[in-house]
Amino acid sequence: YQTFVRLREQRGECSDIAAFGFLALNVNADGLADVAMAQAVSGNYYQVLSVPAFLGRTITDADDTLAASPVAVLSHRYWQKRFGGNREVVGKQINLNNVAFTIA
């Protein structure tokens, strides 16, 4: 992450850069546990890629601080598979690797 911050500060001609990494997460929501493949992304990831949220919101630079409460953005596929496309999941708590996140 520190390398990303340095690159972003010294990006020169680039308008912006974003960071991401793949990981497996233990997911616990509504009393059901499973394992999901995920991406950890920088707060500007969706803005750089110009990707809007289908439902709820994407994360922003404001979410990318130590003071911010953890939020999770669900992929459309995972939202359909795990939550049956229920729109009420936005704002609900989900535990990822035993850390509480709010679905954005």
* Chain-centre distance for alpha carbon 28: 16
Tell me whether residue 9 is in a domain.
no
pLDDT at 15: 74
CA distance 92 to 102: 6
DSSP 3-state of 64: coil
Contact 101, 94 (CB under 8 A): yes
* Number of domains into which the chain is organized: 1
Is pTM beyond 0.85 here? Answer: no
Tell me whether residue 7 is in a domain.
no
pLDDT at 3: 79
Tell me whether residue 11 is in a domain.
no
Query: pLDDT class for 20, splitting at 50, 70, 90?
Result: very high
Tell me whether residue 97 is in a domain.
yes
Residue 102 pairs with which residues in a beta bridge? 71, 93
Residue 72 lies in domain? 18-103
Please state, rounded to an integer, the average pLDDT across all residues of the chain. 92
Tell me whether residue 98 is in a domain.
yes
Query: pLDDT class for 10, splitting at 50, 70, 90?
Result: confident
> Could you read off the pLDDT of 51-75 as tens digits, one per residue?
999 999 999 999 999 999 999 999 9
CA distance 83 to 20: 24
The token pair that represents 86 in the structure block? 């229920």
The token pair that represents 67 in the structure block? 């003071």
